[in-house]
Amino acid sequence: MKLRKLATGFVALAIVTAGVSGPAIAQQPVLAPAAKKYTTMVLNQGVPKIDVLTTKLGQDIESIVIFSAPLTTKAGKSAGNIAGFLTDLEIGATGAETRFRNISFMLKGGQINANGTGEYESTDREMPVERPSTIAIIGGTGKYIGATGEVITRKNADGTFRHVLRLLK
């Protein structure tokens, strides 16, 4: 009985307290979360040189696509090079594959490294035209040390690529 009376007292106290402090809390302004600031860098990639390594495991053919290409700025000036690889992770029932992408942007002043997964048609070595893929920027060297953010890559119809790097400050 004492426990029931004690519990009833706590409920009554909670209701009275909520009634007293509720309106005061509701009248306080709600602050919006601070907007994340980032720097955008746009790099254009030439048609990549590609090499494919394949192995047959049981009935499955596994592959690693290795690529490299020059990079330019929006103004067409040399910005460095890109190199990376794609590894098959999973083939879905529809024929689409999930591939792991590991990319290094070798720029003047350092490197920016990014990785993540993307969806590809099982018959394509490269990403589909005009379908963007986003992966995480996981670090860097030199003036890009500690880099984080994301890179959004889009393949153009002519076989070149456009990378939009959004680096958090």
pLDDT in tens, 14-51: 434 344 444 444 555 555 555 668 889 999 898 888 88
Q: Are strands 110-121 and 78-91 parallel, antiparallel or unpaired?
A: unpaired
* Mean pLDDT, residues 83-106: 81
Q: What is the pLDDT of residue 76?
A: 93
**Rg from Cα positions in the chain:** 26
Q: Are strands 49-57 and 78-91 parallel, antiparallel or unpaired?
A: unpaired
Indicate if the pLDDT at residue 125 is higher than 60. Answer: no
Residue 33, helix vs strand vs coil: coil
Cβ-Cβ contacts under 8 Å for 139 (sequence gap 6 or more): 112, 113, 145, 146, 147, 148
Q: Which of 80-89, 95-104, 143-152 is modeled with the greatest confidence?
A: 143-152
Domains and CATH numbers, the chain: 38-168 (2.40.480.10)
Tell me which of 62 and 155 has the higher pLDDT: 155
pTM: 0.70
* Mean pLDDT, residues 54-64: 65
For the record, the structure tokens of 115 come out as 């990785």
H or E element that contains 152: strand 149-155
Q: What is the pLDDT of residue 46?
A: 87
Indicate if the pLDDT at residue 149 is higher than 90. Answer: yes
Q: What is the pLDDT of residue 10?
A: 36
